[in-house]
Amino acid sequence: MKIAIISDIHGNLEALKATLKDIEKRKVEKIICLGDIIAKGVHPKECIELIRKKCEIVLQGNCDFYFSIEHEDLNKKSEQEQKRIKWNQSLISKEDREYLLNLPFCYEFYMSGSLVRLFHATPIANNRAILNVDSIETKYKMFLPSEKTISQNKADVVIYGHIHPYMDKIYNKTIINIGSVGNSFDVIRNQNKDSDVLETTKSNYLIIEGEYGSKEYSSDISFQFIKVPYDIDKELEDENLNIEKENYRFELKQGMYRNMTKINDNFRKLGVDVDRI
């Protein structure tokens, strides 16, 4: 069975449409979404509608939660943050918010012998970023169960979203980040070493293929990373509706997070010499 796994649409309708079109042509039997359908882009409502129609399983991302709850401490937040919350909430209905708040945290299945566990960011919280440069110890914890996982077994394969795409092997286990459909970027960047940014700014998703539901190791399993180009300029046609349009345009066009200082500080904490890479 072929299963497509998508994540982090962030209200980018053109990216979502291009990705779903690509999935359709690859004869996939099931689509799973790892969350963050909304926030950042101006088309969250249309994205929720499409995701509900096309995806069999949808998990909750940190933004789905954050922009759907009532913030009782709203007045204590910075003016800019208040504006962000109100704006993102104004783009979706009460029913959309209810839908997002009721999404599950985790999904699991066996495939060709491996226990595959899916969540938005970590097995404990959906708002922490585990990066490809994190330690083996930190990455190992991604395979452990928590109160929020479906089973209490250690996973063999972990698939998550929230950041940028990579794959690694640790202790016989496979950790995969599928990247983002609508807010794609790479975090290790260097003007002299970067390739064309159009490679980065495409939509990312993953296809996993194998014997669905089988606990036997006797069949093959494969992971395919796919990058789909989409019409970024068309998505930005409505950018005047966006209260964060400069940041949003920068991220979509440059394939870089709006606050590289924050990312570089995180890297330094992990012992990565960002000034030399």
Which residues of the chain form contacts with Mn ion (CB under 5 A)?
36, 61-62, 162
Cα-to-chain-centroid distance, residue 107: 15
CB of residue 221 vs Mn ion: minimum separation in angstroms?
26
Q: Which lies closer to Mn ion via its Cβ, residue 115 or residue 120?
A: 120
Q: Which lies closer to Mn ion via its Cβ, residue 119 or residue 209?
A: 119
Nearest to 43 by CA among 231, 200, 242: 242
CB of residue 163 vs Mn ion: minimum separation in angstroms?
8
CB of residue 242 vs Mn ion: minimum separation in angstroms?
18
Report the relative pairing of strands 203-209 and 114-119 from DSSP bridges: unpaired
Q: Looking at the DSSP assignment, which residues form a beta bridge with residue 3?
A: 30, 208
Q: Which lies closer to Mn ion via its Cβ, residue 17 or residue 40?
A: 40
DSSP H helices in the chain: 13-25, 44-54, 62-66, 79-90, 94-101, 136-141, 197-200, 232-235, 245-254, 260-269
Q: Which lies closer to Mn ion via its Cβ, residue 127 or residue 222?
A: 127
Fill in the amino acid letter for 69: I
CB of residue 130 vs Mn ion: minimum separation in angstroms?
12
Tokens of 117: 């566990």
Q: Which lies closer to Mn ion via its Cβ, residue 8 or residue 235?
A: 8
For Mn ion, the nearest residue by Cβ is 162
Tokens of 134: 């994190």
Nearest to 188 by CA among 269, 129, 131: 131
CB of residue 62 vs Mn ion: minimum separation in angstroms?
5
